[in-house]
Amino acid sequence: MKLDILSIGDELLIGQTLNTNAHWLSQQLNKIGFEIRQHTTVSDEKMHILTALNDALENVDVVLITGGLGPTKDDLTLEVLTEYFGGKLIMNQDVYQDIERLIGERGFEMNELNKQQALVPNNARVIRNQNGTAPGTWFEKNGTIVISMPGVPYEMKAMTNNTIIPCLLEKYTLPHILHQMIYTQGIPESALAQKLEKWENELPKSIKLAYLPSPGMVKLRLSTTGNNSSFKIIGSSRHTCN
């Protein structure tokens, strides 16, 4: 199953905020069996969001979106998704109560912008947010799932762990994925590749090899999905360079 991560926000594009959400989501979703096809980061502009969304829907099974769910005018994600999937925004009393409780616990009073965040698409599943004021949404179109979450990391992580991953595991039968790291030192990447050429060519097609150079060492990552035989080959892979 293939998955795209779409991050929305000008602050990401100008380098003001590091996109730790995409990094964390990739780790968690790959761990349970998804192949991460692409990370895409776009500005808070309708056409940019739509272009990225159209591309994802043509190529993957699941799209995870973070960002753009705040109460201000530059937060367009909910508006764009609602329009894209042909829905309309309606008041959700459960979300309203969540927001009211959270605002009260923080010692503030509800204002109109807070109340507007209780408007959710009538054609989406609502993912309640116990840690913030912006709920998540779950759409489905032509067999593809599109999930939108807040960009605030701790809110996004809670939604992912508590709701999104359990629901995806319930919906899909996902393959096991295994990554095995091999560390080498004292040999350049090109020379290492030459020495390992025969071994690399003999690897089963189900195993993907990646060279990851860094100062003083080259890491080799072996990856496979699915069957136990490939796991055993990775687990027993050894090669000596003289």
* pLDDT tens-digit map of 179-215: 888 999 999 999 999 999 999 999 988 889 999 999 9
Largest CA distance in the chain: 71
d(CA 206, CA 223): 8
C-alpha distances in angstroms, 44 versus 98, 122, 141? 26, 23, 23
Tens digit of pLDDT for each residue in 48-96?
Answer: 999 999 999 999 999 999 999 999 999 999 999 999 999 999 999 999 9
Structure tokens at 57: 């829907």
Tens digit of pLDDT for each residue in 83-109?
Answer: 999 999 999 999 999 999 999 999 999
In order, the DSSP letters of 164-218 are IHHHHHHH--PPPEEEEEEEEESS-HHHHHHHTHHHHHHS-TT-EEEEEEETTEE
* Inter-residue contact 216 to 185 (CB < 8 Å): yes
Average pLDDT, the chain: 92
**Residue-level pLDDT at 239:** 44
Q: Where in the chain is the domain with CATH 3.30.1070?
A: 177-235
Residue type, position 211, single letter = Y
C-alpha distances in angstroms, 54 versus 20, 47, 50, 239? 24, 10, 6, 45
Residue with tokens 């790959």: 30
Q: What global pTM score does this model have? A: 0.83
**More confident: 9 or 237:** 9
Fold of the domain spanning 177-235: Cell Cycle; Chain A (3.30.1070)
Q: Where in the chain is the domain with CATH 3.40.980.10?
A: 2-171
* Inter-residue contact 73 to 115 (CB < 8 Å): no
CATH class of 2-171: alpha beta
b or e along 92-104 (b: 16 or more beta carbons within 10 Å of the residue's beta carbon)?
beebbebbbebbe
Residues with Cβ within 8 Å of 73's Cβ and at least 6 positions away in sequence, in order, are none
3-state helix, strand, coil in the chain (%, to 5): 40, 25, 35
Residues with Cβ within 8 Å of 72's Cβ and at least 6 positions away in sequence, in order, are 113
